[in-house]
Amino acid sequence: MEARYRHRRDKGDVSSLVSEELFKTIFLHKDDSVCPANGFYPYQAFIEATRMFPKFGRTGCLATRKREIAAFLAQISHETTGGWATAPDGPFAWGLCFKEEISPQSNYCDESDQQWPCYPGKSYKGRGPIQLSWNFNYGLAGEALGFDGLRNPEIVAEDSAIAFQTALWFWMTERNPKPSCHDVMVGRYVPTKADIQANRTAGYGLVTNIINGGLECGIPDDARVNDRIGFFKRYAQLFNVDTGPNLDCQNQKSF
């Protein structure tokens, strides 16, 4: 077993790039008592989830691999941040502080989606590292990962392994007309004519567009976008890699 583990690691296992020590440095305060998700996001659950997606953090040169991991961790940090401007160690040391959305504005049920109908009494609010939301995302993620996302969406905030898996599923999955976040960060994004007209250029800003462009992109100096960038800059430095171009999406149209 140990020899097999070493072999997998030698072949580019994400744990070879993200040690437990580095993980703790990135998420300095995730297990503080003031964070509602304290204890819910252990290092091992993250590493095991990455092994379900063999291309994540294992595509391209070493710098590309590090940059993708840093970008993923930065985006999930923004989605779950407990930081504030004068927070201890700065606002970008407080990722993974939440595991479910606080005071959701609705149950996030798109009743027009007949393929993934909402189950009575269930809320599809944001849960997990990527804050998975809406019935169609829960349905698709559950189908891909082997859980009943429509009848049991709560499991994303109850099972650490499934929580990380949903975040990586979202990151790795292309949803036409949106490319996958993975393809963007590893240089496999090929813009369509519509993308070019919408100024959707490759880079971290396009990943933000994929995740929440309808609310955050096309807006000059948006605070939410800047927060995502702040996390990415800190993590890229910890990984000793540059961030690459096009960090924001203020000049991009949303998908």
Residue 228 pLDDT > 90: yes
Please give the torsion angle defined by the CA atoms of residues 233, 236, 238 and 241, in that order, rounded to the nearest 10 degrees. -140
Domain extents for the chain? 14-98+174-254, 100-158
Query: How far apart, in Å, are the Cα atoms of 130 and each of 6, 28, 81, 125?
Result: 30, 19, 11, 11
Q: Is the model's pLDDT at 18 over the cut of 60? A: yes
Q: What tens digit of pLDDT does each residue of 42-62 get?
A: 999 999 999 999 999 999 999
Rounded Cα–Cα distance for residues 174 and 197 (Å): 20
Q: What number of other Cβ atoms are within 10 A of residue 146's Cβ?
A: 9
Q: What is the mean pLDDT of residues 208-217?
A: 98
Residue 12 is predicted with a pLDDT of 72
Specify the pTM.
Answer: 0.94
- 134 and 115 in contact (C-beta within 8 Å)? no
**DSSP states of 133-187:** -SHHHHHHHHHHHTS-TTT-GGGGGT-HHHHHHHHHHHHH--BTTBPPHHHHHTT
Residues recognised as catalytic: 79
Count of beta carbons in the 10 Å neighbourhood of residue 143:
14
Nearest-angstrom CA–CA distance, 71 and 206: 11
User: Is the CATH number of domain 100-158 3.40.630.10?
Assistant: no
pLDDT at residue 81 in the model: 98
d(C-alpha 76, C-alpha 127), whole Å: 11
Query: Given this structure, which CATH class describes domain 14-98+174-254?
Result: mainly alpha
Token pair 């700065």: residue: 90
